[in-house]
């Protein structure tokens, strides 16, 4: 079980014990650190005093080179078990006398070091000058003491500290076991009440209030919440009864509506069948138009041509002009029939969505236009990298109509230019075809995309008025929209989205 899952009693006890232990540990550590530092200082001061005494007593031995007297003086240090080495150096820095007598030569410095006392390699060492009353230096005293007294005292302090900490933690644990009840008892009472409410769904129970502190206020708030829930539960049961009545009524209405929808679906199926039949008839009609109407038109055009070729000499100028008009009208009617059939196929053709390279498609159409009329010089500015998703066949029809429009209406413009690019439109991408041709008056813009609606006469520019209507239907089938901007003799711009 993780600490998070402990009972609240155990958590409170653990918190009190841990805090007490942490305080004791930090206090003991601070005390031990201070004691260790003070013991080192006291040991250094004591060795310094001892060194000054021995140095003062050694002046005669060094002054008269009495080596035996010096050894006897140093041998008195055997009374201090912590002195591990003592050496008297003469004025030249050579060892004059040493303690103990069997001290190895490499156990002490070969020559005296700087004066003073310091800690090195778990030892306290010191160099004390030996001077006469007139401040003439006779030599140097070297003392080395171990730190066992410091460590023994420190170990004893640690043992005492651990014992005190153990007793204190035990006392803290016992005290926390007694005191945590004042905090945990109200919380446990709340928990028991919440468990009873959750288990029995009985919102009439109340938690006992055990004090006027924050937990008492929490108990009051909890009991008030239970009272509100009890009232809401009572109202909810009443609402459920009402809802049951509404549900029954709704089921009845749904059943009636379902029956009504079934009848409408049946009607829609009949309408769909009728629409399929109408489309079939429309296909037959389109075939009839494309076959039965074209034959008479071809006959009219053919016989008019025969008359012009074989009997032109027998006709006057007015007769020949009339035959030319008959031929032009029959050819125009054939073109109108072809455009209407194309418009019908665009509306009913099945969509095949794919990635389409509009820039490449526009370049192909521009090349076809220039090959068909090489004598015209038209600048095509086609932006690179324009792509879209849609039906490639239908999009080519739309783009072909728009670019041919620009080609057609710039016929009388020197420096003709047709541009295909993309722009931002309301946060999305819109494609545009722009020309610097004849343009149009914006007050007639709503007629641009109607069937047989033309803003220029056939004498000015050829056409049937079906091309832009075809483009609009293709764009609509792609879920987009198309609009145009222009001015008379200032060109036109057609925008479309997909």
Cβ-contact 51, 141 below 8 angstroms = yes
Range 191-197 average pLDDT: 77
| Residue 290 burial (CB count, 10 A) | 13
Range 40-66 average pLDDT: 89
> Over 70: is that where the pLDDT of 436 sits?
yes
What's the DSSP call for residue 446? G
Delimit the domains of the chain by residue range.
3-177, 206-348, 351-496
d(C-alpha 348, C-alpha 275), whole Å: 13
**Tens of pLDDT, residues 357-377:** 999 999 999 999 999 888 888
Query: Residues of the chain with pLDDT > 90: what percent?
Result: 21
**Tens of pLDDT, residues 390-432:** 999 889 989 998 999 898 889 888 889 999 999 998 888 999 9
**Tens of pLDDT, residues 270-321:** 887 776 666 566 656 655 665 666 667 777 878 777 777 777 778 888 887 8
Nearest partner of 484 among 428, 424, 443, judged by Cα: 443
Band of pLDDT at residue 207, cut at 50, 70 and 90: confident
3-class secondary-structure state, position 86: strand
What class, spelled out in words, does domain 3-177 have in CATH?
alpha beta
| CATH architecture assignment, domain 351-496 | 2-Layer Sandwich (3.30)
Q: Worst-scoring range by mean pLDDT, 11-15, 127-131, 263-267?
A: 11-15
3-class secondary-structure state, position 106: helix
Phi/psi at 116 (5° precision) = 125, 170
Interhelix angle for 214-288 vs 181-200, to 10°?
Answer: 40
Q: What is the pLDDT of residue 465?
A: 60
Q: What is the pLDDT of residue 423?
A: 93
Q: What is the pLDDT of residue 403?
A: 92
Q: What is the pLDDT of residue 301?
A: 73
């Amino acid at each position: 079980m993780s600490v998070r899952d402990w009972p609240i009693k155990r958590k409170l006890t653990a918190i009190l014990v841990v805090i007490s232990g942490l305080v004791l540990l930090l206090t003991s550590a601070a005390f031990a650190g201070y004691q260790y530092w003070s013991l080192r200082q006291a040991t250094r001061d004591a060795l310094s005093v001892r060194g000054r005494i021995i140095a003062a007593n050694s002046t005669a031995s060094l002054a008269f080179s009495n080596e035996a007297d010096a050894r006897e003086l140093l041998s008195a240090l055997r009374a201090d078990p912590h002195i591990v080495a003592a050496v008297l150096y003469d004025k030249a820095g050579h060892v004059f006398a040493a303690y103990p007598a069997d001290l190895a030569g490499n156990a002490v410095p070969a020559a005296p070091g700087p004066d003073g006392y310091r800690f090195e390699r778990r030892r306290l060492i010191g160099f004390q000058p030996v001077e006469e009353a007139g401040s003439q230096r006779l030599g140097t005293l070297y003392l080395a003491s171990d730190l066992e007294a410091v460590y023994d005292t420190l170990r004893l302090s640690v043992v005492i500290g651990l014992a005190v900490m153990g007793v204190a933690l035990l006392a803290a644990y016992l005290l926390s076991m007694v005191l945590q009840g004042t905090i945990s008892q109200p919380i446990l009472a709340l928990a028991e009440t919440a468990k009873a409410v959750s288990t029995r769904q009985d919102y009439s129970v109340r938690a006992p209030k055990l004090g006027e502190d924050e937990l008492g206020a929490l108990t009051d708030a909890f009991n008030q919440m239970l009272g509100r829930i009890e009232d809401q539960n009572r109202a909810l049961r009443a609402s459920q009864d009402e809802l049951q009545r509404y549900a029954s009524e709704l089921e009845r209405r749904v059943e009636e509506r379902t029956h009504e929808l079934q009848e409408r679906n049946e009607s829609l199926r009949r309408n769909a069948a009728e629409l399929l039949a109408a489309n079939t008839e429309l296909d037959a009609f389109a075939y009839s138009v494309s076959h039965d109407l074209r034959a008479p038109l071809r006959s009219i055009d053919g016989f008019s041509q025969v008359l012009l070729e074989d009997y032109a000499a027998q006709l006057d100028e007015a007769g020949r002009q009339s035959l030319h008009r008959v031929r032009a009208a029959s050819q125009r009617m054939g073109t109108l029939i072809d455009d209407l059939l194309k418009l019908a196929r665009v509306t009913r053709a099945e969509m095949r969505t794919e990635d389409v390279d509009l820039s490449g498609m526009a370049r192909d159409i521009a090349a076809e236009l220039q090959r068909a009329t090489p004598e015209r010089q038209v600048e095509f500015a086609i932006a690179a990298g324009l792509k879209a998703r849609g039906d490639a066949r239908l999009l080519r029809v739309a783009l072909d109509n728009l670019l041919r429009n620009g080609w057609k209406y710039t016929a009388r413009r020197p420096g003709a230019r047709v541009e295909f690019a993309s722009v931002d439109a309301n946060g999305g991408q819109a494609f545009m075809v722009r020309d610097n041709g004849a343009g149009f008056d914006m007050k007639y813009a709503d007629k641009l995309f109607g069937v047989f609606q033309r803003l220029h006469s056939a004498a000015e520019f050829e056409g049937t008025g079906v091309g832009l209507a075809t483009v609009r239907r293709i764009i609509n089938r792609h879920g987009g929209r198309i609009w145009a901007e222009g001015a008379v003799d200032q060109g036109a711009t057609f925008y479309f989205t997909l």
